[in-house]
Amino acid sequence: MKFGKWLKRQIEQSLPEWRDQFVSYKELKRIVSSISGNPPSPADEALFVAALNADIDKIDSFFLEQEEEFVIRHRELQEVIKAAAEEKGMKSEEEIGVIRREVVDFHGEMVLLLNYSSINYIAVAKILKKYGKRTAGGAGAGVRLRPAVRRQRCFLETETVSRMVRECEAMAALLPSSSSSAAAAATPAAVAAAEQRIFRNTVAALVTMQDVRSGSSTHGRHSLPPLTLPDSDWLRSFPFQPPSPIPIQ
């Protein structure tokens, strides 16, 4: 499978309202393919850099917007769970179930944002490598290009979201246990089923991203800085089907 098709499939599997916020890989690839000079003309290089910067700005803005929203939700959820823990026996099983559902949904959305970061990371790294090959493939192209591409790249800074993912799991453990043995047995099963449904594809993509970074076709003179992801053991603790490899081309 070509990388463009792999990327399209990843985007289609994301949340509908997120699909316009990914890197415009097809358009960037078209710009790279239109470059005929070797080295490229200043106009061609400026066009590529401007288009790439516009995409990075879009991705950064979206990532920061989501992260800020998650920080607020995380704080609110902490307060809700703290209150529930202090009011043992005062909340009904139904109320506790609603809170658990909120935790699972929130956890899943944060994993999706980590997945969003990793997919865009791969796409930007791929297009930079493609640009380098098209424009002589030597160190000269990368040396000229790197200072021109902005270094903000907020979408690569995933430490805050990764920390909240881990804290979200710890918060769930603070919730009071159900008084009913049947409900107590059913709740973990329901949560596990929800996690499987929400996380399967996204966790698989994150594990793939870690595998790519260990021996990546995108790693080289045109590579982006390392991407911070949650611990490997945490990621691999989730059951999922082995992911399909990220295409090289």
Cα 63 from Cα 121, distance rounded (Å): 12
Q: Hey, what are 15's tokens?
A: 């949340």
Cα 194 from Cα 59, distance rounded (Å): 28
Instruction: Give the angle 49-51-57 at the CA atoms, nearest 5°.
Output: 95
Instruction: Give the angle 145-247-202 at the CA atoms, nearest 5°.
Output: 100
**CA distances, 249 to each of 5, 13, 125, 210, 224 (Å):** 10, 21, 12, 19, 18
Cα 12 from Cα 216, distance rounded (Å): 24
Domain boundaries, the chain: 3-236
**Count of beta carbons in the 10 Å neighbourhood of residue 19:** 11
* Per-residue pLDDT of the chain in tens (249 residues, 90 and over written 9): 688 888 888 888 888 899 999 999 999 999 999 988 777 888 988 899 899 989 999 999 999 999 999 999 999 998 988 888 777 667 777 888 888 888 888 888 888 898 888 888 888 888 888 888 888 754 455 555 656 666 667 888 888 998 898 888 788 777 766 554 444 444 445 445 544 554 555 555 555 555 545 544 444 444 455 555 555 454 555 544 444 555 655
Cα 155 from Cα 178, distance rounded (Å): 39
